[in-house]
Structure 1
Amino acid sequence: MKRLSDRAPATSFRGYVDVNAFEEVLACNIKDVIADFCLVDAEIIQSYVSNELHGNMDEIVSSCAELFFKGHTLSYARSAAISTALGQPPCVVLDMEFAHDVVSVDFKLILGEFSVGVHINRVLLEELPEADFDPHFFAKIVTSARLRPLPPRFRSPYCPTDSLRH
């Protein structure tokens, strides 16, 4: 695991570490938000995305996230699309952002008919953390952004067992 160089404090980490581990940490921590989001009628979501009603989508995402994360930590990035593959049901792809402490993560939330996915596009660091930036350190940051501890059934191996909040 390489530490980011001191010359590039606000840089992407994609070339340095396993992105799948970071995606797992993020996905585990937003499962309750996604569960809340899935209570919204799929046709309404598809209509908002198709008609580019970003304000409405922002309100839905904000109301789902406000129960679990500190204000404006997890937000809709005002871009969405409906992905259609031949022979596959459509899926909604939302651009999202997680920003807390020294980390800002741009990611896509993919909502399929029977599955949900998280794809990290970019991670930016405002300053170099004191420790190496690895999935465990990222899990501590994401956990500290939550209003309530992560339920045990949602934890990934990278998530700390105790809840750090500040």
Structure 2
Amino acid sequence: MKRTQYSVARVEIISNHLTEVIQDLRLVDVADYIAFIRCELFGNIADIVNSATELTFYPDTLTFGLGGEYALDWNTAPKVMLDLEFSNMGVNAYFRLTLSSESAEIDLHHLRFAETGHSPAQNTALLAQAFENARLPQLSASAKAQ
């Protein structure tokens, strides 16, 4: 996606909401991701993504897009790229999550809004609202202790 003031803000919204999911995805060994991608066992990656999202998002709002790649050579640390899809409140976001030892990056490919005609700023606010609405309520520390 072409880099604009709106795309930068939208990537930041997505990144902020994926913090916990990224932490959970990093619990899986990078070699497993590479093996699954190399052998085209995308169902295994879909299961991992579903497990990583189940405590943060409502079911079927953030899913694996059935595509992925890896970068692995003798001179650099491995990178795993996973295609993800978000869908809620008439907002669909298609993006690639790149995981490496140093960072996690979002590459936003496409956004679709069910209702067109809004300004880019309104669409960005709608994306933020859709992510907020898709998140599961978090239990407070006192509720967890009971």
TM-score above 0.5: yes
Task: Measure, in 2, the Cα distance between the counterparts of 1:26 and 1:43.
Answer: 26
Q: Please name the residue that 2:103 is paired with.
A: 115
Identity between Structure 1 and Structure 2 (%): 26
- What is the root-mean-square deviation of aligned Cα atoms in Å? 2.2
- Give the drift of 1:90: 2.1
Q: Which amino acid aligns with 2:137?
A: R
Q: Which amino acid aligns with 2:95?
A: F
Task: Measure, in 2, the Cα distance between the counterparts of 1:111 and 1:56.
Answer: 17
Distance 1:134 1:126, change over 3 A: closer
| Corresponding pairs, count | 137
* Unmatched runs of 5 consecutive residues or more in structure 2: 139-146
Aligned residue for 1:18, secondary structure, equals: helix
Q: Please name the residue that 2:41 is paired with.
A: 53
Of structures 1 and 2, the one scoring higher in RCO (CA 8 A, sep 6+) is 1
Aligned residue for 2:133, secondary structure, equals: helix
Q: Please name the residue that 1:135 is paired with.
A: 124
Q: Any conservation in 2 of the 1:49–1:81 contact (CA below 8 Å)?
A: yes
**Whose helix proportion is higher, 1 or 2?**
2
TM-score, length-scaled by structure 1:
0.74
**Which of 38, 49, 60 lines up with 1:72 in the alignment?**
60
* Unmatched runs of 5 consecutive residues or more in structure 1: 1-12, 150-166
5 Å matches for 1:4-43? 18-43=6-31
Q: Please name the residue that 2:79 is paired with.
A: 91
Spell out, residue by residue over 1:49-103, the C-alpha distance to the aligned partner (whole angstroms, 9 max, x if none). 1211001000000011111101100000001101247842220001110000110
TM-score, length-scaled by structure 2:
0.83
